[in-house]
């Protein structure tokens, strides 16, 4: 039996002309190795091959946009983040001290030698974080076929996403919403601020879509639910906001249960 993690992705596709010289070099290198599968001892091997690509490309109205996977950087960041989430007594069950030291040293080297490199992909396991939907509106939702399963993809520009996130923060800050949730949306704002505003932002359900039946995918309007909740809060209608938020939260809460099972 082959184990697979079901993941969703938030990707930024940047115009070629917005890349730095070092990033352009990484794009050219990724193009030459685009057909290779991610391998090696540092790869858990739990992602579908199509989700391990080093480079994603889009052409819109004749303009080329690219999203560098930065798989190695994301692997290191994920490893360190996972290690920090574990109790000290449990860490040795997953990593040796040598592995952790090497990972920290490599991450420091990347940050020192390529300070301008930022992950253009954010990944989530077993669900789509509700805060991601703040970047989109329901009209940008597309149902597409991905293999045997239908999936959902949203797309907008980074400049539009920034405006929406700022509007949401203006409504949510200082209200009844827990500060932790507001803080996570603020982190999303800071991440988006590192990219050229003309870049494209894509939310891809990817393999997370396989957790739902086709009818559930067709009925999934999570972005509309999230924004209806935010607008209701702005109007002072906490009960209405709670109903919309509960609908979205229950949908993704059921999906997140698999995280505990696994």
Query: pLDDT value at position 218?
Result: 95
3-state secondary structure (DSSP) of residue 204:
strand
Angle separating helix axes 222-234 and 238-261, nearest 10 degrees: 140
CA separation for the pair 38, 74 (Å, rounded): 13
Query: Do residues 127 and 252 lie in contact, with contact meaning Cβ atoms separated by under 8 Å?
Result: yes
Query: Do residues 203 and 136 lie in contact, with contact meaning Cβ atoms separated by under 8 Å?
Result: yes
Query: Do residues 156 and 201 lie in contact, with contact meaning Cβ atoms separated by under 8 Å?
Result: yes
Query: Do residues 208 and 162 lie in contact, with contact meaning Cβ atoms separated by under 8 Å?
Result: no
Distances (CA, A) of 124 to 54, 121, 164, 203: 17, 10, 21, 11
Bridge partners of 157?
200
Q: For residue 192, is it left (φ>0), alpha (ψ between -120 and 50) or beta?
A: alpha
Query: pLDDT value at position 114?
Result: 67
Query: Structure pTM?
Result: 0.81
Residue whose structure tokens are 């009960």? 239
Distances (CA, A) of 123 to 7, 73, 89, 248: 7, 13, 27, 19
Per-position b or e across 221-254, b if 16+ CB within 10 A of its CB: bbbbbbbbbbbbbeeeeeeebeebbebbbebbee
CA separation for the pair 59, 75 (Å, rounded): 28
Query: pLDDT value at position 119?
Result: 79
Secondary structure of 69-82 in the HEC alphabet? CCHHHHHHHHHHHH
Per-residue pLDDT of the chain in tens (262 residues, 90 and over written 9)? 344 568 899 999 999 988 888 788 878 887 877 544 444 434 444 455 556 677 889 999 999 999 987 767 767 766 776 677 678 787 787 778 888 888 888 778 777 776 666 778 888 888 899 999 999 999 999 999 987 889 999 999 999 999 999 999 999 988 788 899 999 999 999 999 999 999 999 999 998 999 999 999 999 999 999 999 999 999 999 999 999 999 999 988 876 665 544 4
What is the DSSP secondary structure assignment for residue 36, as one 8-state letter?
Answer: S
Distances (CA, A) of 190 to 29, 42, 152, 161: 28, 29, 25, 12
The residues spanned by each domain of the chain are 7-70+117-261
| Strand pairing category for 121-125 and 63-68 | unpaired
Q: For residue 93, is it left (φ>0), alpha (ψ between -120 and 50) or beta?
A: alpha
């Amino acid at each position: 039996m082959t184990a697979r993690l079901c993941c969703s992705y938030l990707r930024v596709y940047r115009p070629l002309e917005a890349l730095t010289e070092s990033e352009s070099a990484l794009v050219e290198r990724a193009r030459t190795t685009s057909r290779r599968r991610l391998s090696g001892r540092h790869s858990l091997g739990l992602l579908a091959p199509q989700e391990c690509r080093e480079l994603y490309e889009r052409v819109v109205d004749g303009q080329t946009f690219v999203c560098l996977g930065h798989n190695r950087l994301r692997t290191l960041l994920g490893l360190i983040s996972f290690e920090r989430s574990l109790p000290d007594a449990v860490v040795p069950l997953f990593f040796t001290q040598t592995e952790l030291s090497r990972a920290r040293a490599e991450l420091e080297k990347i940050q020192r030698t390529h300070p301008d490199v930022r992950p253009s992909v954010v990944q989530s396991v077993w669900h789509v974080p509700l805060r991601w939907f703040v970047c989109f509106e329901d009209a940008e939702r597309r149902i597409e076929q991905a293999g045997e399963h239908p999936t959902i993809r949203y797309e907008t520009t980074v400049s539009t996403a920034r405006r929406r996130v700022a509007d949401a923060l203006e409504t949510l800050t200082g209200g009844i919403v827990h500060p932790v949730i507001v803080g996570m949306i603020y982190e999303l704002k800071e991440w988006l601020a590192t990219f050229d505003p003309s870049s494209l932002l894509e939310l891809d359900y990817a393999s997370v879509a396989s957790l739902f039946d086709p009818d559930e995918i067709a009925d999934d309007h999570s972005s509309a639910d999230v924004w209806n909740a935010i607008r209701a809060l702005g109007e002072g209608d906490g009960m209405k906001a709670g109903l919309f938020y509960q609908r979205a939260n229950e949908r993704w809460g059921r999906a997140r249960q698999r995280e505990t099972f696994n």
